[in-house]
Amino acid sequence: MIKLTHIEKIYAKGTKREVKALKDVSLTIEEGEIFGVIGLSGAGKSTLIRNINLLERPTSGTVEVDGKDLTAMKQVQLRVERRKIGMIFQSFNLLSSLTVAKNVAFPLELEGRLDKEAINKRVAHLLELVGLSDKADMYPAQLSGGQKQRVGIARALAAEPKVLLCDEATSALDPKTTSSILELLLDLRDKLKLTIVIITHQMEVIKECCDRVAVLDGGVIAEMGSTLDIFTEPKEELTKRLVSSAVRRGMPELLRHTQIVPNYENGYKAVVEILFLGPKADSPVIADVSKCCNAKISILAGSIDHIRKVPFGLLVVEIDGDEETIHIAIEELKKRVHKVEVLGYDRRKQLAEY
């Protein structure tokens, strides 16, 4: 559906102020996919999404949408193709002097292809889709932030696009409203067969609704993969930091400043991170392994969450026993869960004996 090939975007090219916002970016987004792009401020996220619909033309490279090369088109052709690409923004960009219905109708009236009756019919349908049928005659100032964004979504869908671009569309919203907007996008994707691209700095957004994600760092794609893989097996340091903002990984805070060492010695306890996926996320693995291996296992930290509706459990435990017992317990855990990682060994017990 969307194919970017060797995209570069350079501002003030050839001057002392030259900035390379995007550097050789290539990616393909499949039809019907919700694709997320995440990165820190200044990573080039907004530049990337504005290159998809050519609101900003790339310095080099090609942009294909639905099999058509937008970068090869003249402005007249491009205007026609842009009708297939809707866009919503962080700041809503609603016209304060127009009612909700008029805001949604505005792009259709500018196009001039439909008569008034057809426009009114489509507007009514769109407001029903986004749950705002009863707000048609209200003005933006009378709406909450979430309602304003729903109007923005309805307006972006007015021309019946195949692609919806979302530029930090939930950044100005509270967590509960963000979840409702993401649920709406998932629903619209299925009902309207949309392909959705979401630009965000919130890993929670990625976790809740994206099928795949690209991590952008300094204008370069640092890592890309399924949302589940990115959360469970992050490879790059930036990705690990971003993931930890949504799912706490690694050593619990209570152990960070204690005597944790990398190697086992007599009397030490192993500190182990256990990652569960799917149905095993809520099964009694710890109790079963403790019983069968005769090991003392204490839970230090943990949580159960969902990534794209897949249960995702994370526990940090301490295994007490001799070296062989600890080894057997760890090997048994590996058979039963998605991933086991030894974070270190706690020598506090041994220190207390002296």
The pLDDT of residue 163 is 96
The pLDDT of residue 258 is 65
Q: Identify the segments of the chain with pLDDT beneath 70.
A: 249-258, 280-282, 348-354
The pLDDT of residue 73 is 93
Cα distances (Å, whole numbers) of residue 47 to 37, 41, 205: 11, 12, 19
The pLDDT of residue 305 is 81
2-246: CATH number: 3.40.50.300
pTM, two decimals, is 0.86
Q: How many other C-beta atoms can be found within 10 angstroms of the C-beta atom of residue 137?
A: 10
Q: How many other C-beta atoms can be found within 10 angstroms of the C-beta atom of residue 147?
A: 19
Phi and psi torsions of 305, nearest 5°: -135, -170
SS3 state at 279: helix
The pLDDT of residue 311 is 84
The pLDDT of residue 309 is 78
CATH superfamily of the 253-352 domain: ACT domain (3.30.70.260)
The pLDDT of residue 251 is 65
The pLDDT of residue 250 is 66
The pLDDT of residue 254 is 63
The pLDDT of residue 200 is 93
Sheet with 212-217, side-by-side order of all strands: 85-89, 163-167, 195-200, 34-38, 212-217, 220-226
Which tokens sit at 84? 């297939």
